[in-house]
Amino acid sequence: MAEIGWARKEGALYRAAIPVLTEQNRAMVTGLLRIGRKALEEWFGANYEDLKSALTDISPVRNRVPFPVAFDQIWHYLFGIANEKLVEAGLFADPYAPEAAFQGYMPAVYVQGMGWLPERL
């Protein structure tokens, strides 16, 4: 863990160098997930049909790939663009900044067996 930067040695002890979520973080994580889910549900409720209509001419849809399957790939690009805009607005840490300890991502772990984090975030 120390070799990949997830832990650091302090004397004879090792300490986490990344966030470690435990039961104490349940309310915070649950609240953040609720906020994110609500924002996505509202956005999709208002924009899904327009987005689907705007994308009828992309290659996968023209070739009869069901829109939800094609959208799964498109979503990754939209998510990246949204994160880029959040970084530009100063609302999100830039995972690609030269000083970022982990280029492109922020690792975190949670104590297994807590049973309160969903299978998929």
pTM (two decimals): 0.65
Mean pLDDT of 87-115: 85
Mean pLDDT, to the nearest integer, of 114-119?
Answer: 56
- Name the token pair of 112: 């297994």
Q: In sequence order, which residues have a C-beta less than 8 Å from that of residue 109 and are 6 or more positions away? A: 6, 16, 18, 19, 20, 21
- State the pLDDT at residue 54: 94
22: confidence class by pLDDT, cuts 50, 70, 90:
confident
Angle between helices 67-88 and 26-54 (to 10 degrees): 120
